[in-house]
Chain A
Amino acid sequence: KAGVTQTPRYLIKTRGQQVTLSCSPISGHRSVSWYQQTPGQGLQFLFEYFSETQRNKGNFPGRFSGRQFSNSRSEMNVSTLELGDSALYLCASSQGPRTSNQPQHFGDGTRLSIL
């Protein structure tokens, strides 16, 4: 069974640009969650999508948005990029919602660098 796939693996952008990251969950998983990981803040929750609906949202500005398609694939968009957005963005999928006592399985992440 293929794992969670995130593309691209690395991305370099400049301030003010926008970026779209993609996540393909494990087959049969309906929940996709996105996290931002930085050395200073650790792993921070961005949002969760379950059956194409945003189920939960973390404490991030509106520049961060996402969506989920009918095949459970998800995209995350960040507009008007800032230097502080440089981070490893991780996607995780699970069969049920992430608080349903089913483990989340993570992709290898997208390393986003803002110049």
Chain B
Amino acid sequence: SQELEQSPQSLIVQEGKNLTINCTSSKTLYGLYWYKQKYGEGLIFLMMLQKGGEEKSHEKITAKLDEKKQQSSLHITASQPSHAGIYLCGAGATGNQFYFGTGTSLTVIP
């Protein structure tokens, strides 16, 4: 079973549209991380959220961690082709564990 579930699994949007990716856990998360990956390459760190209710933004990407620290969302405003890739969430858990989500593949059509 997956500790972190992401939805949707894949997303195809027209350039300029807004979109949201969700990351959900059945357990309390200790530090929630968002990464972006281009096919065949490493993961690029985007943002880290630690406190319930926390929200961070970088350029046109905003991430939020809900109050109970069991769900996070990543929102992209006015998407561009450069936003295309695979988005993964990762989180710490009890017992020195760290999990990654299943990933969301984003395609932006010019």
Please report A residues at the B interface, Cβ cutoff 8 Å.
Answer: 4, 6, 33, 35, 42-43, 45, 55-56, 88, 90, 92, 97-99, 101, 103-109, 111
Secondary structure of the A side of the interface? strand
Nearest-Cβ distance from residue B73 to partner chain A, whole angstroms: 19
Additional 8 contacts, C-beta under 8 A, given A98-B92, A99-B31: A42-B102, A43-B88, A43-B103, A55-B96, A101-B30, A103-B45, A106-B45, A108-B42
Q: Report the interface size for chain B: residues with CB under 8 A from the other chain.
A: 21
Q: A103 vs B35: C-alpha distance in the bound complex, in angstroms?
A: 10
Taking a contact as CB atoms under 8 Å apart, the answer to whether A98 and B98 are in contact is: yes
Closest 3 CB pairs of A and B: A106-B42, A106-B43, A101-B31
Q: A108 vs B44: C-alpha distance in the bound complex, in angstroms?
A: 9
Given contacts A99-B30, A99-B92, A101-B31, contact A42 B43 (CB under 8 A): no
B84 / chain A contacts, CB cutoff of 8 Å: none
Chain B 43-93 residues near chain A, CB threshold 8 A: 43-45, 48, 50, 88, 90, 92
Nearest-Cβ distance from residue B51 to partner chain A, whole angstroms: 11
Q: Which of A97, A106, A111 contacts B96 (CB 8 A)?
A: A97
Taking a contact as CB atoms under 8 Å apart, the answer to whether A42 and B41 are in contact is: no
Chain B 6-27 residues near chain A, CB threshold 8 A: none
A4 / chain B contacts, CB cutoff of 8 Å: 42
Taking a contact as CB atoms under 8 Å apart, the answer to whether A111 and B40 are in contact is: yes
Taking a contact as CB atoms under 8 Å apart, the answer to whether A103 and B33 are in contact is: yes
- A111's nearest neighbour on chain B, judged by CB, is B40
Given contacts A43-B88, A111-B40, contact A104 B45 (CB under 8 A): yes
Taking a contact as CB atoms under 8 Å apart, the answer to whether B48 and A103 are in contact is: yes
Q: A99 vs B21: C-alpha distance in the bound complex, in angstroms?
A: 23
Q: A98 vs B98: C-alpha distance in the bound complex, in angstroms?
A: 7
Taking a contact as CB atoms under 8 Å apart, the answer to whether B41 and A108 are in contact is: yes
Q: A106 vs B43: C-alpha distance in the bound complex, in angstroms?
A: 6
